[in-house]
Structure 1
Amino acid sequence: MRPLHSFFRSILFLLFLLMAMPVAQGQILKKLKKKAEKAAERTVERRVEKETAEKTDQVLDSILEPGKKGEVARDKDGNPIPQMDMPGQGDNNGQGEPNIKSSPGAKGGPEAMRVYSKFDYVPGDKMLFFEDFQNDFIGDFPSKWNTNGSGEVVTMNDSDEKWLELISGYNIYFIPDVPKLPEEYTIEFDVMAVGLSKRTSSTATLRVDLSDDSSFKEGANFVHAQIPFCQYSPIGITMANHVNNKREMYSTVRADLRDEVLNRPHISIAVNKQRFRLWVNEEKHIDIPRIVPAGAVINTLKFHMNNFKDGEERIFITNLKVAEGGLDLRRTLLAEGKVSTNGILFEVGSANIQPQSMGIIRQISQVLQQEQAMNLKIVGHTDADGSDDNNLKLSKNRAEAVKEALVSVYGISEDRLISEGKGESEPAGDNTTPDGKAQNRRVEFIKQ
């Protein structure tokens, strides 16, 4: 009887399998689909990583100082190692976090400026808001900001530079006290990222919001630009808007920013009525002609970050500058014979031009190339920090550096240019405030 029982058990088992086959097939298909997707993702990722590594080496070779070569360091698992450190951590000796260092691209010098020679961003010429947190105490939330979450001002090692650490969270906003935004304006800031790895979420983003709501809501009318910090795949920049509570645009523009976000990127945004443009370092990634809601009162700038691991993946910003304008300086120079700008930035206490300032110098060069009979005087001005003699010398050196950029990068004849420095003697703003100091650090171009 036992063989018969075994026979019936086998028949019953086969019947069970047949009945369960549709479910099993569905499960198997799902598993196969997931495996195929993962395999495809790994293949694409390996290909992209190889291409990115090759391109990154080329870019880094071009922006590092002549004779030096750099690459993005990675650990034994292939994860990028950010060149950063938090206050008091000391050297990166295998304990604590790595040292914070400036990005090679943030340095001045001929090679860096040549990389930025086609950079066409021009900042506004009327300062609305400037924030470097120099008037705030370490550990405090900055006095000219608001939030419904938390954050604090920090420094990095021995540097005098201060940063605001943003906190990740659902519907948490950081709102600077920027006056009502006009129709045409520009926004700039520096970002520092610490603790990123290949485990950083594909949804880890820093979002820049322009909204008609001045509190902690999205608003009925807004524009969002989401900057990705994911390291295992190139995610792209997501752009979205709402017009009267209705979505009109949602798109993701291809952009591989994995190396850029590890090396203190400089973000530049230009809004000209409905047009929205965004640059990361020297490269323009976004240029959408009609994304800002027409007729809406877009009056508030907000920052929002989400899906970062608490206490491990950290984001900091500094040098936030909002300015009205961002228009074509070439027309002003031709029409009025003079243009003054605080958009040409230098390293602190030096005459090294920050390469993201090249958009302005490029426009000046275009005027000189068109108007062959025109000669220019370049005048440098400083704020009142430091001694009169040092500021006079610094202003002269900075004017000379701008002249040298016009000559060496854009091929303008040296005999058409003269440079002069006036130090702190002709202030345009109040030297007791960050905004006023930023206005005073300016360069003038005067037709001769």
Structure 2
Amino acid sequence: MKTSLVSKIILIFAIAFSTNTNAQFFKKLAKKAERAAERTVERRVENETSKKTDQALDSILEPGSGGKQAPKAPETPSGQNKSGNTNESNSGTENVGNTGPKTIQVYSKFDYVPGDKQLFFDDFSNDFIGDFPAKWNTNGSGEVVKISTEDGKWFEMKPSSYYIPDVPTLPQDYTIEFDLLANGLDKQTSSQAILHFILDESDKFGYGRNAIYAYLPFCQYVPIGIRIWNNIEGKNTVNNTVTADIRKDVLQKVHISVAVNGKRFRLWVNENKYIDVPRLVSEGKITTLKFEPRGFKDSKERLFISNLKVAEGGVDLRRKLISEGKISTNGILFESGLANIQPQSMGIIRQVSQVLQQEESMALKIVGHTDSDGSDENNLTLSKKRAEAVKNALVSVYGISSDRLLFEGKGESEPVGDNNTADGKAQNRRVEFIKQ
């Protein structure tokens, strides 16, 4: 740009003085014009650079004050009237964007394995829209809602309140999973906007002498990381912020997975493990799960949770499959009414593939089971398709020979839980691996 501008200025002077016979005078004048043009260009570049730098600093130090205007919140979803109320209740929800599930190949190294004995499950399917969920407690408020872009029901949690699900006393080894959905996040969302995930020694609001917590951040203008903290008999031994940039993750539905094995605590966001602390938990003291949202701007930034699952176990399924020749798990999840595997289920399938890679002579039968929703015929077909989908994942993602894998579906014919409850239905939706 600089050379082009200087050349143009020289050309103008050349034309203006083309009739002047004093070549030496023209040469000196041209050099002066070139230097003047260079100084002008440099000043402009310097001014533009300064302007851009100021905008960048403004966006860091005062989010939203510099640069472009922050993006608008999503529009009201279909089914709501202009006042923001849904046709089902007076609460309504904002339309939360969703880019769709990631491919299962992305999760091919995902090493989370859910517990094999379900203790608690809640997708709010038995709760009425607008009500506080029956299996939770709080010192604030909240309600069950429908979201136009998502399946099922969601529980909206309000900031600065504690929420305690009716989970039985937590054992030594257990796993916790849930989906989160946030609405109204933008470049002005505060660094104080977090979900306080708490494991504690009592069911009282707050936390006690034996507790741990993790801060899940929703801030958009800077990656503030995930803070991890504990109390062991009233003494804090871990207080650290782990580097983590989950800003893009929390702009859509995000899956959180937690595994506790004795003193060890691990936490995944989607397929990425961010926390793995070997001596964080006060072993034998932790009994209760709690949630506490903080820092969300009331009515603008909203937080929803669904599909909370707590299960005992979370130990290595590979040894069990080799020693007992059979495992049954409800940790392989599918899209509702379909045979599409949800990506976060790949941890279990990965462990099965590792057994087959080690035990080269082993063959497996994969058996799918469903709950009782729908007709017997449809459930039988669906369970078979789901078993086949697991087989295809073992073949296409992990390279297992299809000749070593059989599959069949049993529909709803062999329930292990009560199909009249959400918890029982979740137990019945399972996949078995049986050595042949």
> TM-score, normalised on structure 1?
0.79
**Is 1:85–1:156's contact at 8 Å kept on the other side of the alignment?**
no
Q: Does structure 1 residue 141 correspond to structure 2 residue 132? A: yes
Task: Check 1:434–1:234 CA distance in 2 against 1; reply closer, same or farther (3 A cut).
Answer: same
| Alignment partner, residue 391 of structure 1 | 379
Give the superposition deviation at 1:45: 7.5
> Could you say what secondary structure the match of 2:283 adopts?
coil
| Alignment partner, residue 114 of structure 1 | 105
**Is 2:74–2:184's contact at 8 Å kept on the other side of the alignment?**
no
Say which one has the larger Rg.
Answer: 2
Give the superposition deviation at 1:140: 0.5
| Alignment partner, residue 187 of structure 1 | 176
| Alignment partner, residue 47 of structure 2 | none
Partner amino acid, structure 2, of 1:230: C
| Alignment partner, residue 154 of structure 2 | 163
Task: Check 1:277–1:122 CA distance in 2 against 1; reply closer, same or farther (3 A cut).
Answer: same
| Alignment partner, residue 421 of structure 1 | 409
User: How many Å separate the matches in 2 of 1:392 and 1:384?
Assistant: 10
| Alignment partner, residue 96 of structure 2 | 100
| Alignment partner, residue 390 of structure 2 | 402
Give the superposition deviation at 1:40: 10
1:239-254 alignment runs, 5 A limit: 239-254=228-243
Give the superposition deviation at 1:157: 2.1
Partner amino acid, structure 1, of 2:293: M
Give the superposition deviation at 1:244: 1.8
Q: 2:318 aligns with which of 330, 352, 371?
A: 330
Partner amino acid, structure 2, of 1:288: V
The count of residues paired between Structure 1 and Structure 2 equals 370
> TM-score, normalised on structure 2?
0.81
User: How many Å separate the matches in 2 of 1:160 and 1:98?
Assistant: 14
Q: Does structure 1 residue 152 correspond to structure 2 residue 137? A: no
> Could you say what secondary structure the match of 1:232 adopts?
coil
Task: Check 1:97–1:442 CA distance in 2 against 1; reply closer, same or farther (3 A cut).
Answer: closer
Q: 1:289 aligns with which of 278, 282, 288?
A: 278
| Alignment partner, residue 340 of structure 1 | 328
**Is 1:139–1:154's contact at 8 Å kept on the other side of the alignment?**
yes
User: How many Å separate the matches in 2 of 1:119 and 1:45?
Assistant: 35
Partner amino acid, structure 2, of 1:165: E
User: How many Å separate the matches in 2 of 1:41 and 1:426?
Assistant: 63
Give the superposition deviation at 1:294: 3.2
Give the superposition deviation at 1:43: 6.0
Give the superposition deviation at 1:42: 4.4
| Alignment partner, residue 359 of structure 1 | 347
Give the superposition deviation at 1:83: 6.4
**Is 1:45–1:233's contact at 8 Å kept on the other side of the alignment?**
no
Report Cα offsets for 1:205-252 as digits up to 9, x if no partner.
001100002111211110001100000000100000011222211100
Q: Does structure 1 residue 369 correspond to structure 2 residue 357? A: yes
What's the RMSD between the two structures over aligned residues?
2.3
| Alignment partner, residue 294 of structure 2 | 306
> Could you say what secondary structure the match of 2:238 adopts?
strand
Report Cα offsets for 1:262-297 as digits up to 9, x if no partner.
1111000000011000000000000000000134x2
User: How many Å separate the matches in 2 of 1:406 and 1:44?
Assistant: 50
Task: Check 1:322–1:82 CA distance in 2 against 1; reply closer, same or farther (3 A cut).
Answer: farther
> Could you say what secondary structure the match of 1:248 adopts?
coil
Structure 1 runs of 4+ off > 4 angstroms?
39-46, 80-87
Task: Check 1:446–1:80 CA distance in 2 against 1; reply closer, same or farther (3 A cut).
Answer: farther
> Could you say what secondary structure the match of 1:424 adopts?
coil
Report Cα offsets for 1:281-325 as digits up to 9, x if no partner.
000000000000134x21100000111101110000000000000
User: How many Å separate the matches in 2 of 1:40 and 1:291?
Assistant: 43
Partner amino acid, structure 1, of 2:132: F
Q: Does structure 1 residue 267 correspond to structure 2 residue 256? A: yes
Report Cα offsets for 1:101-126 as digits up to 9, x if no partner.
4442x35xxxx111000000000000
Q: Does structure 1 residue 222 correspond to structure 2 residue 211? A: yes
| Alignment partner, residue 204 of structure 1 | 193
> Could you say what secondary structure the match of 2:386 adopts?
helix
Partner amino acid, structure 1, of 2:335: E
Partner amino acid, structure 1, of 2:366: I
Structure 1 unmatched ranges of 5 or more:
1-38, 47-75
Task: Check 1:279–1:159 CA distance in 2 against 1; reply closer, same or farther (3 A cut).
Answer: closer
1:68-83 alignment runs, 5 A limit: 77=68, 79=70
User: How many Å separate the matches in 1 of 2:350 and 2:59?
Assistant: 37
Question: Greater shift after overlay, 177-186 or 81-90?
Answer: 81-90
Q: Does structure 1 residue 213 correspond to structure 2 residue 202? A: yes
Partner amino acid, structure 2, of 1:218: Y
> Could you say what secondary structure the match of 1:146 adopts?
strand
Question: Greater shift after overlay, 436-445 or 211-220?
Answer: 211-220
Task: Check 1:275–1:398 CA distance in 2 against 1; reply closer, same or farther (3 A cut).
Answer: same
Partner amino acid, structure 2, of 1:143: A
Give the superposition deviation at 1:87: 6.9
| Alignment partner, residue 36 of structure 1 | none
Task: Check 1:79–1:411 CA distance in 2 against 1; reply closer, same or farther (3 A cut).
Answer: farther
User: How many Å separate the matches in 2 of 1:133 and 1:188?
Assistant: 15
**Is 2:95–2:183's contact at 8 Å kept on the other side of the alignment?**
no
User: How many Å separate the matches in 2 of 1:279 and 1:80?
Assistant: 28
User: How many Å separate the matches in 2 of 1:40 and 1:128?
Assistant: 54
**Is 2:179–2:256's contact at 8 Å kept on the other side of the alignment?**
yes
Q: 2:123 aligns with which of 132, 136, 139?
A: 132
Report Cα offsets for 1:166-194 as digits up to 9, x if no partner.
0001xx20000000000000000000000
User: How many Å separate the matches in 1 of 2:303 and 2:270?
Assistant: 17
Task: Check 1:394–1:271 CA distance in 2 against 1; reply closer, same or farther (3 A cut).
Answer: same
